[in-house]
Amino acid sequence: MSASEWPLWEVFVRSRRGLSHTHAGSLHAPDAEMALRNARDLYTRRSEGVSIWVVPSSAITASSPDEKDPFFEPAADKPYRHPTFYEIPDGVKHL
Amino acid sequence: MTAALALGDDALVLAHRLGEWAGHAPVLEEEVALANIALDLLGQARVLLSMAGDEDELAYLREERAFRNVQLVEQENGDFAHTIARQLYFSTYQELLYGQLAAGESEFAPLARKAAKEVAYHRDHAEHWTLRLGDGTAQSRERMRRGLDTLWRYTGELFEPVDGLDLDRDALRRGWTDSIGSVLDRATLTVPEGPQRGAWTAGAGRQGLHTEPFGRMLAEMQHLHRSHPGATW
């Protein structure tokens, strides 16, 4: 089996406890177990993470660039949806 | 110091062999994985050789006969399955070895405690590939079997006594045999038959006797330092 036949996987890394998993990149691997190991070598060897998810790229349904306007445009002129009128205390992190 | 040289040379030589895959590995992801393992081993080699003397002098200026590594680690990479077979045999041994050293109180205990986690990953990596190649296609299975068979004769040397290392060698051999047997069984392969040492070759790396490919490897590894002594980046 050549690499071109290996499925593509998306890698999500949680950089530390309390944060969510963030998309780090993608890689090829023959199966999920190997994808996890490849992800460890490619994306976390400088202690970037405490947890990794790998997801088959084919399992992801993405919004299309053509639908950008109906999807995202209507939110642009509604500032009342953002909590911009509160003052954030100094001690609050990750907001 | 014989023991530091023996363990340091094992790590240094295998690191160099794995480094030879850079630019040649079957896929990019695997190239990075092998390079990571090589760098872990190189880190161990630096600590161990520094315990025995000047690390650069020991690595770059010794003649072949002065190296004390086992012959297993100097064997050529061959195909990918051959490299994985070498890695499975060695990392299984090294994990058990460091496990024993970490539990002891010798001067190797601090290094062993740190390196044990690295080596556990090396063994895990080799195991996963052994399972996939052994229980894969007819061709991958045949290549994995050939790698395991070819290198089997070099495995006996892993259990020879090393001056200055206080080890339970029976437990080491038992643990290694069980672990290899279990992996090969799950990979639908069989443990190779035949002696774990050649007629004269195996058992001699620790005494400074090495196989033919080692001289060529050393020439490549040392030529830069020998041509430009003290060169730095």
Q: pLDDT tens-digit profile of A76-87?
A: 777 777 777 778
Return the bridge partners of A13, or none.
Answer: A22, A52
Residues B136-171 have pLDDT tens digits of: 999 999 999 999 999 999 999 999 999 899 899 999
Residue A69 has what pLDDT? 80
Distances (CA, A) of B197 to B11, B156, B159, B205: 21, 5, 11, 12
Which of A3, A37, A45 is closest, CB to CB, to B27? Answer: A3
CB < 8 Å to A34, chain B: 128, 132
The secondary element (H helix, E strand) that includes residue B11 is: helix B2-19
What is the predicted pLDDT for the residue at A68?
A: 79
**Inside any domain, residue A54:** yes
Strand partners, A51: A14
Quick check: is A89 in a domain? Answer: no
Predicted local confidence at residue B200, as pLDDT: 59
Is A14 domain-assigned? yes
Asked whether the beta carbons of B20 and B35 are under 8 A apart, the reply is: no
Query: Quick one: pLDDT at residue A94?
Result: 73
- Residues A47-61, mean pLDDT to the nearest whole number: 92
In a domain, A76, yes or no: no
Q: Using the beta-carbon criterion (under 8 Å), do B128 and A34 form an inter-chain contact?
A: yes
User: pLDDT for B16-39, tens place per residue?
Assistant: 999 999 999 988 999 999 999 999
Residue B16 in 3-state DSSP? helix
Assess if residue A36 is contained within a domain. Answer: yes
Give me the average pLDDT of each 10-residue run along chain B (233 residues). Answer: 93 98 91 96 97 95 96 97 98 98 95 96 97 96 97 93 92 97 97 81 79 95 91 80
User: Check: CATH 1.20.1260.10 for B2-227?
Assistant: yes
Chain B contact probe: residue of A9, A41, A44 with most B CBs at under 10 A: A41
Higher pLDDT, residue A91 or B202? A91
Q: Does A25 touch chain B (CB under 8 A)?
A: no
CB of A25 within 8 A of CB of A42?
Answer: yes
ipTM of the modeled complex: 0.76
Is A66's Cβ below 8 Å from some Cβ in B?
no
B29 close contact with A: CB closer than 8 A:
yes
Closest Cα in chain A, distance from residue B33 (Å): 6
Nearest to B96 by CA among B35, B159, B162: B159
Report pLDDT for A79.
76
Report the gap between the CA of B101 and the closest CA in chain A (Å).
25
> Is pLDDT of A3 > 70?
no
Judge: B36–A30 Cβ closer than 8 Å, yes or no.
no
**Total of domains in chain A:** 1
Question: Is A38 contained in some domain?
Answer: yes
Which residues of chain A make contact with B124, given a CB cutoff of 8 A?
Answer: 37
CATH of residue A57's domain is: 3.10.20.520
The structural domains of chain B, with segments of one domain joined by +, span: 2-227
pTM of the model: 0.88
Tokens (6 digits) for A37: 């190991």
